[in-house]
Amino acid sequence: LPKLFIFDLDGVITDTAEFHFLAWQKLAEKIGVSIDREFNEQLKGISRMESLERIIALDPSLSLSDEEKESLATDKNEYYKQLIESIGSENTLPGIEELLKDIKASNVQIALGSASKNAQMVLDKLGLTTYFDYVVDAAKVAKGKPDPETFTTAADALGISYENCIGVEDAAAGVQAINGANMFSVGVGSEEYLANANYIVSDTLKLDFNQIIKEYTV
């Protein structure tokens, strides 16, 4: 058995990815840029400021000071927090709580590896905090995904070697981070974006504990 599962938050445990998208869309409008869901794929797993930089880059005529960027990033977070204010356990993606229960029942530890500064608040709202032995959020790492640090930080904190870890991600940058940490990567979503994952499922309902363990041990 592995010793630790490390879960991404947005797009794996809950679909706040959609709320991030809506908040970025509103922010982009404010600076006269338009973004669609396809562009949003690039923002998944990427930090708030890095996401803003990518949106600003869509209009080469835009030149913004650091203060203006900080203020735009804060605006986006305010939109986002309004959107997630009313989320609850019904926003946990299908199959996730069952999987967390199966992992716990096997005495395997669980950590969160999120790029979001709102990660702990979201976990609390979903009522899932007690499943997690350790939470890594944006505040705990210097280099965000695709750098492996988010995942290695969780393993290091719990004293577990990387080859005994399984990371679960919905974003290309996240899969790259897991692979870079020499952990087993499980991708949730389309093969088009997640081709580098060691094992891919199309959606969270297909995340079956026994099947993941089988893939991990071959």
- Tell me which residues touch Mg ion (CB under 5 A): 8, 10-11, 45, 170-171
User: Annotated catalytic, 102?
Assistant: no
Q: Of the two residues 9 and 56, which places its CB atom closer to ligand B16 in the complex?
A: 9
Binding-site string for ligand B16 from residue 25 to residue 64, where x marks contact by CB under 6 A and - marks none: ------------------xxxxxx--x-------------
SS (H, E, C) 32-51: CCCCCHHHHHHHCCCCHHHH
10 assigned ligand-binding residue: yes
Q: What share of the chain is helix, strand, coil (3-state, %, to 5)?
A: 55, 15, 35
**Active-site annotation holder among 10, 36, 59, 124:** 10
Residue-level length of the chain: 218
| DSSP secondary structure string for all residues of 84-128 | HTT--GGGBPTTHHHHHHHHHHTT-EEEEE-S-TTHHHHHHHHT-
Q: Which does 185 bind (CB under 5 to 8 A by kind): ligand B16, Mg ion, none?
A: none
User: Annotated catalytic, 8?
Assistant: yes
Q: Which does 43 bind (CB under 5 to 8 A by kind): ligand B16, Mg ion, none?
A: ligand B16
For 7, phi then psi, to 5°, come to: -105, 135
Handedness of CA 49, 50, 56, 62 (dihedral sign): positive
In the numeric block, which tokens belong to residue 134? 């350790």
In the beta sheet, which residues pair with residue 182? none
CB of 82 to ligand B16, least distance (A): 13
- Return binding residues for Mg(2+): 8, 10, 169-170
- Return binding residues for substrate: 8-10, 24, 43-48, 51, 76, 114-118, 145
Catalytic positions: 8, 10
Positions that interact with ligand B16 (CB under 6 A): 8-11, 17, 20, 43-48, 51, 77, 114-118, 138, 171
